[in-house]
Amino acid sequence: MVRASVILLLALCVATPARADDVGTTAASLAQRMRADTTPFDTVASLTTEVGQRLAGTEAHARAVQWAEAKLTSYGLANVHAESFSITAWIRGVETARVTVPAPLQLAVTALGGSVATPPEGIEAEIVLFHTYADLLAAAPRSLDGRIAVVTQRMVRVEDGAGYGAANPIRRAGPSEAARRGAVAYLHRSLATDNHRLPHTGALNYQDGAPRIPAAALSMPDADQLERMTALGKVRIRLVLTPVERENAPTWNVVGEVPGRERPDEIVLIGAHLDSWDLGTGATDDGAGDGIVMSVGKLIAALPQHPRRTLRVVLFGAEEMDYSGPAYAKAHADEAAHIVLAAEADFGAREAYAVMLPAGAADADFGRALDRTLAPLGAFVDRRPAVGGGDDVRGLQKEGVPVASVRQNGLDYFDTHHTADDTLDKIDPRQLSQAASVWTALVYLAAETAFDFRKAAAAPK
């Protein structure tokens, strides 16, 4: 390889501008440093140990914000600050479900985020069980009057998470669809791929014009059990959910920057969400994303020469209940034209295998340089353009900000997602560092080159 390297170096000096080569070499070297760095894991360990769960709008999240400001500062980022906004916080209460007929049986359930409460003594009713969500949608108006609707459709395990996207309406829209048909409560099989007795929470979205009924997710074995029991005869369930809401609860997006040395007004924005569900410690969702973007910020901030453009790291404050993305986009709409690229790390802690770029970038110099940097990391540039960049940057995308997506292996992400089981032990530090190394390559190249993603997207194909 000595000979080949020499030839290659000579070739590069002849064939490409030294400057572009420097950028590529630096990107590759930074990515390799990140790959051997334990900062991503150490950051998640610190967050999940020192703060633990951090539900948006609660005191725990306020502690996480303090943690984040201190950590970003210690990581060398500038302009560290928290941007406040207010949300309707939703606080879990008692959540129990018990089969009463044909015989007593405790079920493992967890309330959906945003669910209204039952009366303190609960709601007891006969259930109507649907094996698919489409079966529920095909049920006639009033056909569920006075019943508890139960949907047991399974989501499908897919590496890129497409199974979760496809199943999402079961949780998001199911409660209102059941209520429209007369149901007094709603249960569904957790949107998940495990088979543990731990239910998976997640937000619902009540629809206008439908009664707001209590809604909860069943663990996978409990959904199976109800399928078998209803095949034998009538089943009644008593459901107790006592969540409360707090209007105008304060929350914050935490920001830190590495100011650009030549084009400080051009911003590469990378984010993750600091809030988590309350059941576990939010290690993979989204401590891992926090660990990735904070570590990338630390590495870039420590460079003797900052990249040309500004790197902005945003730790969003209320992703799980859908508040922080819109809040950030609203507060920064005037600035959107200055954000050259945005992306969010919010798909767990496994290895990254690909990067999807805004349209037009994969086949341009930028994509080729990135692909070359990714190859030794075991990843590549997917030529299909990124459709989205994450929940919290969707608002920016609507304002015209180009988005990228780092693809991580999500085959087991939905085994523990949104459960009590989302804890630090699920993270392999080496896989997390590899994912962070892919982010490093993307971020450094986007911040150091002057590549215009908007222009590339607008160019004729």
* 113, 321 Cβ separation under 8 angstroms: yes
Residue 143's DSSP bridge partners are: none
Task: Verify binding: residue 412, its own copies, rule CB under 8 A.
Answer: no
DSSP codes joined into one string, 184-250: SEEEEE-S-S--SS-----B--PPTTS----EEEEPHHHHHHHHHHHHHS--EEEEEE--EEEEEEE
Annotated active-site residue 399? The verdict is no
Please tell me the count of residues contacting its own copies according to CB under 8 A. 57
Nearer to its own copies, 378 or 400 (CB): 378
Annotated catalytic residue: which of 319, 320, 344, 351?
Answer: 319
Stretch binding its own copies (CB under 8 A), from 198-206, 333-341, 370-378, 413-421: 370-378
45, 158, 210, 364: residue in contact with its own copies (rule CB under 8 A): 158
In the complex, what is the shortest distance from the CB of residue 97 to its own copies, in angstroms, rounded to a whole number? Answer: 18
DSSP codes joined into one string, 7-24: HHHHHHHHHS-HHHHHHH
Phi-psi region of 10 (alpha: psi -120 to 50; beta: other; left: phi over 0): alpha
Task: Verify binding: residue 363, its own copies, rule CB under 8 A.
Answer: no
Task: Verify binding: residue 163, its own copies, rule CB under 8 A.
Answer: yes
Q: Which two tokens stand for residue 345?
A: 């790390």
Task: Verify binding: residue 307, its own copies, rule CB under 8 A.
Answer: no
Question: How many angstroms separate the CA atoms of 29 and 422, rounded?
Answer: 33
Task: Verify binding: residue 160, its own copies, rule CB under 8 A.
Answer: yes
* 453, 358 Cβ separation under 8 angstroms: yes
Angle between helices 365-374 and 429-448 (to 10 degrees): 150
Task: Verify binding: residue 102, its own copies, rule CB under 8 A.
Answer: no
Task: Verify binding: residue 15, its own copies, rule CB under 8 A.
Answer: yes
Phi, psi torsion values for 123, nearest 5 degrees: -120, 130
Task: Verify binding: residue 354, its own copies, rule CB under 8 A.
Answer: yes
Cα atoms in the 13 Å half-sphere on the side-chain side of 396: 31
261, 368, 430, 454: residue in contact with its own copies (rule CB under 8 A): 368
Task: Verify binding: residue 461, its own copies, rule CB under 8 A.
Answer: no
Sketch the per residue contact string, 166 through 185, with its own copies: x for CB under 8 A, - otherwise: xx------------------
Question: How many angstroms separate the CA atoms of 110 and 128, rounded?
Answer: 19
Sketch the per residue contact string, 16 through 45, with its own copies: x for CB under 8 A, - otherwise: x-----------------------------
230, 236, 326, 336: residue in contact with its own copies (rule CB under 8 A): 230
In the complex, what is the shortest distance from the CB of residue 381 to its own copies, in angstroms, rounded to a whole number? Answer: 7
Stretch binding its own copies (CB under 8 A), from 9-17, 56-64, 104-112, 340-348: 9-17
Burial of 2 (0-12, 13-18, 19+ CB in 10 A): exposed
Cα atoms in the 13 Å half-sphere on the side-chain side of 285: 27
In the complex, what is the shortest distance from the CB of residue 438 to its own copies, in angstroms, rounded to a whole number? Answer: 11
Question: How many angstroms separate the CA atoms of 254 and 328, rounded?
Answer: 11
In the complex, what is the shortest distance from the CB of residue 253 to its own copies, in angstroms, rounded to a whole number? Answer: 29
Task: Verify binding: residue 439, its own copies, rule CB under 8 A.
Answer: no
In the complex, what is the shortest distance from the CB of residue 379 to its own copies, in angstroms, rounded to a whole number? Answer: 6
Burial of 1 (0-12, 13-18, 19+ CB in 10 A): exposed
Distances (CA, A) of 319 to 11, 172, 417, 456: 48, 15, 14, 30
| Residues with Cβ within 8 Å of residue 378, at least 6 apart in sequence | 351, 353, 434
165, 195, 398, 450: residue in contact with its own copies (rule CB under 8 A): 165
Task: Verify binding: residue 8, its own copies, rule CB under 8 A.
Answer: yes
Sketch the per residue contact string, 379 through 408, with its own copies: x for CB under 8 A, - otherwise: xxxxxx--x---------------------
Task: Verify binding: residue 138, its own copies, rule CB under 8 A.
Answer: yes
* 187, 148 Cβ separation under 8 angstroms: yes
Catalytic center residues: 319
Q: Which residues bind its own copies (CB under 8 A)?
A: 1-4, 7-8, 10-12, 14-16, 128-135, 138-140, 143, 153-154, 156-160, 162-163, 165-167, 227, 230-231, 233-234, 353-354, 368, 371-372, 375-376, 378-384, 387, 411
